[in-house]
Amino acid sequence: MTDSVRTLTPSEPRAIPLAAPAIGGNAWAYVKDCLDSNWVSSVGAYVDRFEAQIADRTGVPCAVATVNGTAALHVALLVAGVEPDDEVILPALSFIAPANAVRYAAAWPVFLDVEPDYWQLDPARLAAFLIGECRDVNGTLRRIATGRRVRAVLPVDLLGHPCDITAIAEIAREHRLLVIEDATESLGALCRGRAVGSGADIACFSFNGNKIVTTGGGGMIVTGDAARAARARYLTTQAKDDPVEFVHGTVGYNYRLTNLQAALGVAQLEQLDVHVAAKRRIARAYTTAFRDLACLRPMREAPWAFSTFWMYTILVDSSRAAVTSRALIAALASERIQARPLWQPLHRSPAHARDTSHAACPVADRLHRDGVTLPCSVGLTEADQQRVIDLVVDRIAR
């Protein structure tokens, strides 16, 4: 029997999802407007409005909507000038999309460990890698072990918390590397008072169903470089040079967002601050409830950061807790509460680990072993959150 056809008995607890979308505000009106006007496809006023709204929100002049965040990353790498056989530096802990996007561009990801405090790409590791493992060959930065050109660094703002883009961008500048920021998990977050996405050469956002605002599926590229934005717009719309004669200057992609999706996006962005406030309230309640549990360590917010706490995550210290992270997830599942581990570190992923050699990433490994992401939907009720808290406290301490 699948979950959807299972009948609920009165004693069965209500399911609490990990992160469900919160559709509200003008969503119905704007989507209906598309349907009524027949502007449902890949051009339309809502696409333009959605792009302008993201540009405004991030303070980055140019925004190009895409079909999803992975496509945004792919095209961002292309317009940044990443070429086949280049290397691109990524954090070892992330959802797999940015590593896949690097391979779509026929380049190679190099994974560096994250730092233990806020779990983001470690600027100190980045500097050590560039100084110790790369060298300048006739004006080109090359990795000594492979001889390949190192072209860009692709930090990820993980779990709603910004990476230290200020430090990363400065190190990148010294080594003439481009910075492509994967801000897909962290729209609304700030690094030293500046919106994520604004401190990089190019940045990407995602509007997948579990992100802080959603279009069902969607993405965005932002950049201050108008030529790169124009190139991104060209590549995402099949690289059409002559719309009448259908002349295409290169191999392009059908990566454009539809007006229908953008209409939902415009309505969702109007709710962004409400969603961020809800995520932060949920995070505060969890962190307060877990304050006295020495075997459990909640995610933190750096003094220089404003986090959205997109996916509220705790580390279970299995040497002190009564359960491991995976046993806690199973215990929650048996009460119909959805929780999950963090992603398999990319230097261990069968999809990528074989390709090239990677340094040890002990912090990413530990976060993978101990991490548990707890339910944190924007619409999570206080009563449901209390159920999660009670169960975690009960299992951890026993």
298: its two tokens? 């909640």
Which residue lies nearer to ligand PLP by CB, 21 or 219?
A: 219
Say whether residue 95 binds ligand PLP (CB under 6 A): yes
**21, 44, 91, 98: which one binds ligand PLP (CB under 6 A):** 98
Which residue lies nearer to ligand PLP by CB, 134 or 152?
A: 152
Among residue numbers 233 through 272, which ones bind ligand PLP (CB under 6 A)?
none
* Phi then psi dihedrals of residue 144, to 5 deg: -60, -45
Say whether residue 185 binds ligand PLP (CB under 6 A): yes
Stretch that binds ligand PLP, among 94-102, 139-147, 326-334, 355-363 (CB under 6 A): 94-102
Which residue lies nearer to ligand PLP by CB, 74 or 358?
A: 74
Q: Can you say whether residue 246 is alpha, beta or left, with left for phi > 0 and alpha for psi between -120 and 50 degrees?
A: left
CA distances from 70 to 34, 40, 98, 142, 247 (A): 25, 22, 7, 27, 27
Say whether residue 307 binds ligand PLP (CB under 6 A): no
At its nearest, how many Å lie between ligand PLP and the CB of residue 234?
21
Query: Distance (Å, rounded) from C-alpha 351 to C-alpha 288?
Result: 39
Say whether residue 308 binds ligand PLP (CB under 6 A): no
**58, 186, 198, 206: which one binds ligand PLP (CB under 6 A):** 206
Among residue numbers 43 through 72, which ones bind ligand PLP (CB under 6 A)?
68-70
Say whether residue 156 binds ligand PLP (CB under 6 A): yes
**94, 214, 223, 261: which one binds ligand PLP (CB under 6 A):** 94
Give the count of residues interacting with ligand PLP (CB under 6 A). Answer: 14
Say whether residue 155 binds ligand PLP (CB under 6 A): no
Which residue lies nearer to ligand PLP by CB, 134 or 213?
A: 213
Give the footprint of ligand PLP on this chain (CB under 6 A): 68-70, 94-95, 97-98, 156, 182, 184-185, 206, 208, 219
